[in-house]
């Protein structure tokens, strides 16, 4: 049986060893030169690093093969570890990408951008972002004031009505619309298809396009809308397109072009592709599962 004196000696020994280790660590840190100065007061944006070309595994057996595999996916492959945890650089990148995703959902498309693109703005029945997140049904309905503005400002009964909506990513709109929208309009006009007046719907869900279709009496309606952001990108946008869309119609009647962003389908290419799809819809008078692309 261990006596009280022996137990005290054991505790003192453990504490002594712990103190010695701590002192050694402190001395090591103090003797290490740390450059905490940031050149020009600027810290590099970690999100600008292309993770498809980044390999954090030390001394990989087949670096060339590993990088080739990373080219096919934006997933975080080859990130290595610090014990059982992520390395600091990986952990910071995940947090930065998560923050960018949150910002894209809760921020608004700027008035300056809408003026630059010559898009007038209407609202859905959502009063703010919180209501937009919690009441998807309100995001599918245009406000009474918005309906009047559309009727007063839009060309009625066009062959193709295009409008823009923030959806779940305002960042996607500001990153892609400058290239997508002109490419679409140019493509449609080249096919001699009449295009309605483009505009912007704030706090809009995909279903709002059905209301827009009924208001404008367009043959084909297309909404360019921000996708739900993830940790790969917060700038991905989709185009939902439907032939003679009506409120409460089946979702299967929509045709979707997704993953529009600089790391997916390039915006200009997407715009030309969407114009081709709209032309096909008008010819075949169908969309969604009824349209074979």
pLDDT digits (tens, 9 = 90+) for 177-217: 999 999 999 999 999 999 999 999 999 999 999 999 999 99
Query: What local confidence, expressed as pLDDT, does residue 39 receive?
Result: 55
Local confidence band at 7 (pLDDT 50, 70, 90 cut-offs): low
Tell me which residue has tokens 């140019």.
186
Local confidence band at 131 (pLDDT 50, 70, 90 cut-offs): very high
For the chain, give the percent of residues with pLDDT over 70. 87
C-alpha 225: how far from its chain's center? 10
Q: Are 184 and 274 in contact (CB under 8 A)?
A: yes
pLDDT digits (tens, 9 = 90+) for 9-34: 766 776 676 666 555 544 554 454 44
pLDDT digits (tens, 9 = 90+) for 61-106: 898 898 888 888 878 888 888 888 888 888 888 888 888 888 878 8
Other Cβ atoms closer than 10 A to 280 = 17
Q: Are 144 and 215 in contact (CB under 8 A)?
A: no
pTM: 0.77
- DSSP, collapsed to helix, strand or coil, labels residue 196 as coil
Query: What local confidence, expressed as pLDDT, does residue 75 receive?
Result: 81
Maximum distance among all Cα pairs of the chain, rounded to whole angstroms: 98
The better pLDDT of the pair 117, 27 is held by 117
Query: What local confidence, expressed as pLDDT, does residue 14 receive?
Result: 64
Considering Cα of 124, then 127, then 132, then 138, what sign does the dihedral take?
negative
- 253: nearest Cα among 226, 286, 231, 220: 286
C-alpha 189: how far from its chain's center? 29
The better pLDDT of the pair 222, 7 is held by 222
Q: How far apart are CA 200 and CA 194, in angstroms?
A: 19
> How would you label 157-190 residue by residue, b for 16+ Cβ within 10 Å and e otherwise?
ebbbbbbbbbbbbbbbbbbbbebbbebbbebbee
The better pLDDT of the pair 75, 35 is held by 75
Q: What's the per-residue H, E or C state across 253-281?
A: HCEEEEEECCCCECHHHHHHHHHHHHHHH
206 is in an annotated binding site: yes
pLDDT digits (tens, 9 = 90+) for 229-261: 877 788 999 999 999 999 999 999 999 999 999
The better pLDDT of the pair 102, 121 is held by 121
| Mean of per-residue pLDDT scores for the chain | 87
- Tell whether the model's pLDDT for residue 137 goes beyond 90: yes
Contacts of 65 (CB under 8 A, 6+ apart): none
Apex CA 257: angle with CA 159 and CA 120, to 5°? 55
Distances (CA, A) of 105 to 63, 132, 173, 230, 256: 37, 10, 11, 11, 21
Other Cβ atoms closer than 10 A to 95 = 12
Tell me which residue has tokens 């859905």.
124
Q: Are 185 and 140 in contact (CB under 8 A)?
A: no
- Tell whether the model's pLDDT for residue 140 goes beyond 50: yes
C-alpha 90: how far from its chain's center? 20
Query: What local confidence, expressed as pLDDT, does residue 267 receive?
Result: 96
**Strand-pair category, 160-165 with 220-226:** parallel
Query: What local confidence, expressed as pLDDT, does residue 34 receive?
Result: 41
- Tell whether the model's pLDDT for residue 35 goes beyond 50: no
Topology of 111-290 in CATH?
A: Rossmann fold (3.40.50)
């Amino acid at each position: 049986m261990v006596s009280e004196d022996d137990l005290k000696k054991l505790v003192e020994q453990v504490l002594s060893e712990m103190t010695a280790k701590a002192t050694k660590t402190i001395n090591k840190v103090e003797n290490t030169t740390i450059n905490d100065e940031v050149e020009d007061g600027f810290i590099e944006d970690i999100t600008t690093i292309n993770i498809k070309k980044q390999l954090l595994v030390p001394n990989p057996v087949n670096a060339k093969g590993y990088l080739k595999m990373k080219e096919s996916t934006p997933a975080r492959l080859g990130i290595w570890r610090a014990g059982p945890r992520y390395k600091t650089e990986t952990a910071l990148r995940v947090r930065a990408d998560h923050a960018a995703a949150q910002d894209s959902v809760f921020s608004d498309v700027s008035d300056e951008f809408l003026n630059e693109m010559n898009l007038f703005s209407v609202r859905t029945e959502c009063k703010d972002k919180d209501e937009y997140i919690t009441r998807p049904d309100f995001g599918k309905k245009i406000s009474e004031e918005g309906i009047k503005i559309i009727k007063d400002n839009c060309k009625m009964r066009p062959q193709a009505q295009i409008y823009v909506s923030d959806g779940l990513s305002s960042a996607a709109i500001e990153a892609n619309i400058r290239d997508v929208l002109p490419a679409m309009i140019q493509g449609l006009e080249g096919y001699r298809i009449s295009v309605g007046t483009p505009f912007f719907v704030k706090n809009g869900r995909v279903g709002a396009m059905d209301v827009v279709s009924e208001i404008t009496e367009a043959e084909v309606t297309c909404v360019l809308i921000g996708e739900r952001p993830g940790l790969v990108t917060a700038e991905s946008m989709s185009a939902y397109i439907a032939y003679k869309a009506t409120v409460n119609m089946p979702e299967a009647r929509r045709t979707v072009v997704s993953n529009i962003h600089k790391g997916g389908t390039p915006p200009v290419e997407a715009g030309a592709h969407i114009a081709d799809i709209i032309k096909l819809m008008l010819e075949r008078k169908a969309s969604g599962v009824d349209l074979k692309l």
